[in-house]
Amino acid sequence: MSVDMKASAATGEVWLIRHGETEWSRSGQHTGRTDIALTDHGRKQARALAGPLAALRFNAVLASPMSRAIETCQLAGLGEEMRVSADLHEWDYGIYEGRTTADIRKTEPDWSIWHSPIPHGESLTQIEARARGVVESLLAILAQGGSGARGGAGRRIAVFSHAHFLRVLAGYWIGNSAALGAHLYLDTATISILGFDRESRAIRRWNARPEGCE
């Protein structure tokens, strides 16, 4: 990306929205490729996102292909603008799909998604590569000409995705490292904002829960 394009992108924001509650997010089961629906509470959470999002214009609205992310986007009021991107799907947990960390550690005491092998799934290196591609795509959208957001504050993108992938994405955004995501906790149906401090990529807000979203 050229210097001029970087300067243009540096006025923009990426709004990360984690999907609402599912049965497995409530129980702590790793949910990667399993297409599990929102709970009734998760739908209530998703509708509560509509308030803070309604006042804004987004130049792009991107969503994971999983139904929990798509439905959250729709209930949050951005379904008509949504474009599904396979690159936003959750970490592929391989043989650990559907299991909790506590259960896995009964036989693998030191296990962690952040540093342990993931047989038949995605390694940290692989998900970092995916995040790198997403960041490059986001920066390209932010660098496009014109000011699409109200008030001339720059361009905005909404990204509806999953806890681990959004943490990886944020880690790569601020430090070119997926591993930094280990230090970023993320609740269901929350809003986080990636942006800039002058030319440096930065986290401007993290894990904000809209009013009425518990």
Binding residue numbers: 31-32, 68, 90-93
Q: Looking at 13, 21, 71, 90, which residue is catalytic?
A: 90
Binding residue numbers for substrate: 31-32, 68, 90-93
**Sign of CA pseudo-dihedral 10, 136, 141, 3:** positive
Spatial CB neighbours of 193, under 8 Å, sequence gap ≥ 6: 13, 14, 15, 16, 203, 204, 205, 206, 208
**Sign of CA pseudo-dihedral 68, 173, 194, 180:** positive
Whether 90 is a known active-site residue: answer: yes
- Which phi-psi region, left, alpha or beta, contains residue 154 (left: φ > 0; alpha: ψ -120 to 50)? left
Under a CB-based contact definition with an 8 Å cutoff, are residues 139 and 14 in contact? Answer: no
Q: What is the DSSP string of 59-123?
A: SEEEE-SSHHHHHHHHHTT-GGGEEE-GGGSPP--GGGTT--HHHHTTT-TT--TTTS--TTS--
Q: Looking at 13, 19, 21, 30, which residue is catalytic?
A: 19
Residue 102: which of 30, 152, 172, 51 has the closest Cα?
30
Tell me which residues are annotated as active site: 19, 90
